[in-house]
Amino acid sequence: MSTLGTERNPLRVAIVGSGPSGFYASESLLKSGYSVRVDMLERLPAPYGLVRNGVAPDHPKLKQAILVYEKIAEGPEFNFLGNVSIGRDLTIEELQRTHHAIIFACGAEADRKLGIPGEDLSGSHTATEFVGWYNGHPDYRDRTFNLSNEVAVIIGQGNVAADVCRLLGKTVDELKHTDIAEHALAALAESKIREIHVVGRRGPAQAKFTPAELRELGEMADCDPVVAPGDLDMNPESLSELVEKTNMINAKNIKIFQEFAQRAAPTKRRRCYFHFLKSPIELTGDGHLKRVIFEKNRLKGDPFQQVAEGTTERKELACGLLFRSIGYRGVPIPGAPFDERRGVFLNKGGRLIDKYNSIIPGLYAAGWIKRGPTGIIGTNRADSVATVKALLEDLGVLSGGEKPGAEGLYPYLAKRGIRVVSFSDWRAIDAAEVERGRPKGKPREKFTTVKGMLAVLNKRSETT
């Protein structure tokens, strides 16, 4: 009989990624009643994925999820290996040799494309770049955004678009006591943006904001929301969507849009215009974005199945800065089957499958890389619990001999010159960030380069 999952032969699981889904998977494994050791591998020295690098700086309460993750990380059966990228520093095969199972919880770090001419003009950016930049993500800290333009356009009407809109619309006073990266605060302080246009391809009843996030766009100190009353006229299908009990969110959004539309003429320095039933079909300019050409849409289909269909009616908007916020895709890792269409790892209920639909023993996925980029932080808990349940059901088919876990990986990493960041190393970086923020009245001043983070550790080892 297999001894896997007993104190003599603990189940060794490698978790790739330290965002919410990685931590919820760890929690579920460590509470399973089996003897389990979790090694979490994260490509950055800092853990927490999009809770650190995605959630907007002016939403600090949402970052409190980190307190739960810290508790999980403090457990003796949990081990963090930061600054280790799977696919670059270690292969999946190497992890398979050292661990009984691997859970990929590596998120969806790439963007969907609009697929229109001019998309790659300078001045046209993904929301990911801007979000990463203001949050101090090392991959994006060197991006530049031409904020000397007066007009910015955001394509998409979900909560990430709302985040981008707030960061463009808010004053420095509204942002300066958040954990926004200092380079972003300095650049936004010089911003000349006056108009922010937030554009959706479907109607107001289909906008994807959640009501709290939409309401906030009407509460900025120096930016008025603008909705043309006529834009809230809806077709019968949309009206019938709004009376469905399961569709409270959109009904609430409509009330908020109506309140915006009824406001007195805008007086604030900046304005945030909402546009519906418009799709960008071309971006033009001479190397740099100069204008967006939109096509007017109509809705077609039954309630809740309505899709946008172009009408051929066109409108242009002069603008020098555009953000595409239309969804995310996972990034492939060699050795993990990838669904190109959906941008996720091919899986059935969290078990990775090959292109013939056969389950690959010992490989699992959780969170955005499993189901795509939907849901809030908390949504990942149930998702990770389901993946761990599948893994534990498979104990009998996992290769059951003893495995070394991370101890078997450190020699490879040392040979490859990788400075592994442990959780106590991260604690030192964390403390240094908090210290740097204190004089500015900020919760932290993030290090925005890997080098900067590692320098804290080098300094520590020099003084001890």
Ligand X SMILES: Cc1cc2nc3c(=O)[nH]c(=O)nc-3n(C[C@H](O)[C@H](O)[C@H](O)COP(=O)(O)OP(=O)(O)OC[C@H]3O[C@@H](n4cnc5c(N)ncnc54)[C@H](O)[C@@H]3O)c2cc1C
Of 13, 14, 36, 55, the one binding ligand X by CB under 6 A:
55
| Residue placing its CB nearer to ligand X in the complex, 131 or 199 | 131
For 229, the 3-state DSSP assignment is helix
Is 195 a residue that touches ligand X (CB under 6 A)?
no
**Per-residue x/- mask for ligand X, residues 404 to 443, rule CB under 6 A?**
----------------------------------------
In 2-64, which ranges are continuous DSSP H helix?
A: 20-30, 49-53
Instruction: List binders of ligand X among 57-76 (CB under 6 A).
Output: 59, 62
Instruction: List binders of ligand X among 89-128 (CB under 6 A).
Output: 105-107, 109
Is 18 a residue that touches ligand X (CB under 6 A)?
yes
| Residue placing its CB nearer to ligand X in the complex, 166 or 403 | 166
Residue that the structure tokens 């900046």 belong to? 270
Of 11, 131, 151, 193, the one binding ligand X by CB under 6 A:
131
| Minimum distance, C-beta of residue 228 to ligand X, in the bound complex (Å) | 28
Is 49 a residue that touches ligand X (CB under 6 A)?
yes
Of 13, 44, 154, 344, the one binding ligand X by CB under 6 A:
44
Of 333, 391, 398, 456, the one binding ligand X by CB under 6 A:
333
Q: Residue 293 contacts by C-beta under 8 Å, 6 or more apart in sequence?
A: 280, 281, 282, 283, 284, 314, 315, 316
Where would I find the beta strands (DSSP E) of 146-194? 151-155
Is 184 a residue that touches ligand X (CB under 6 A)?
no
Size, binding site for ligand X by CB under 6 A: 34
**Per-residue x/- mask for ligand X, residues 349 to 368, rule CB under 6 A?**
------------------xx
Residue type, 413: L
Is 54 a residue that touches ligand X (CB under 6 A)?
yes
For 321, the 3-state DSSP assignment is strand
| Minimum distance, C-beta of residue 160 to ligand X, in the bound complex (Å) | 4
| Residue placing its CB nearer to ligand X in the complex, 4 or 196 | 196
| Residue placing its CB nearer to ligand X in the complex, 49 or 123 | 49
| Minimum distance, C-beta of residue 425 to ligand X, in the bound complex (Å) | 16
**Nearest in space to 422 (alpha carbons), one of 88, 38, 79, 104:** 79
For residue 295, give the DSSP letter. Answer: E
Is 453 a residue that touches ligand X (CB under 6 A)?
no
| Cβ proximity of 369 and 108 under 8 Å | yes
Cα–Cα distance, 146 to 196 (Å, whole number): 14
Cα–Cα distance, 126 to 245 (Å, whole number): 34
For residue 130, give the DSSP letter. Answer: H
Of 37, 43, 278, 442, the one binding ligand X by CB under 6 A:
43
Cα–Cα distance, 349 to 27 (Å, whole number): 19
Sign for the CA dihedral angle at 202, 378, 255, 126 comes to: negative
Q: What is the SS3 string spanning 250-264? A: HHHHHHHHHHHHHCC
Q: Residue 300 contacts by C-beta under 8 Å, 6 or more apart in sequence?
A: 306, 307, 308, 309
| Minimum distance, C-beta of residue 444 to ligand X, in the bound complex (Å) | 17
Residues of this chain that interact with ligand X (CB under 6 A) are 16-22, 41-44, 49-50, 54-55, 59, 62, 85-87, 105-107, 109, 131, 160, 163, 333, 367-368, 375-377, 380
